[in-house]
Amino acid sequence: MSTQHFPELDSPSITVTRDALHAYARVLGSWLKCCRAKRKHWWHASLRSSLNGLTTGVVHAGIDFELELNLREGLLIGRTSTGALLSETLHGQPASELAEGIKRFLVANGIASQFVPEKNDSHENTTAHPAYAAEHAHNIARVLNSVATTMELFRAVIREETSPIQLWPHHFDPSLL
């Protein structure tokens, strides 16, 4: 059996960065709820681990797009199937700014209006996170990736149906059913 080594996290020092990432994940989750067809267990509304952080995966909503919180490089990355690219530095800005940037990007690239989330608490979150640290975000991404890897190894030995490994934006917690 392999041993998984998790990066060390200092809880008091990562709190602000974690809270910012939680707010950003909620913005991405709101796009998933509006753009994806409903699935059992709300699987349509969850994020997935990526090599660099967290991703929506490909979303089919009139235009195909993907949103990623690239925590290794400290960026929000948006891509469309037409080749359009959004790259915004994560620096502790309010989630409302990130939400507005995503909306401008996707609307400019042809997303249908029925797929644009209505303003909600994640889109109206104007709390800035001035103590946000890219180094802490990178460490959080490493931990999330390690947890997802460990859960995937566990999932592989289960014979029954299982869910994907996912991260719930609302509570910012990984899960496996």
For the stretch 18-42, pLDDT in tens is 999 999 999 999 999 888 877 776 6
Residue 175 CA to chain centroid, in angstroms?
14
Q: Taking a C-beta distance cutoff of 8 angstroms, is the pair 95, 122 a contact?
A: yes
Q: Which residues of 105-115 are buried (b: 16+ CB within 10 A; e: fewer)?
A: bbeebebeeeb
Residue 48 pLDDT class (50, 70, 90 cuts): very high
Q: Mean pLDDT throughout 100-126?
A: 87
Mean pLDDT of the chain: 89
Q: Taking a C-beta distance cutoff of 8 angstroms, is the pair 78, 66 a contact?
A: yes
What is the pLDDT at residue 2?
63
What is the pLDDT at residue 3?
66
**Percent of the chain scoring above 70 in pLDDT:** 92
Q: Mean pLDDT throughout 120-127?
A: 77
Q: How far apart are CA 107 and CA 59, in angstroms?
A: 14
In this model, does residue 43 exceed pLDDT 80?
Answer: no
What is the pLDDT at residue 1?
53
What is the pLDDT at residue 80?
97
Q: Mean pLDDT throughout 41-64?
A: 87
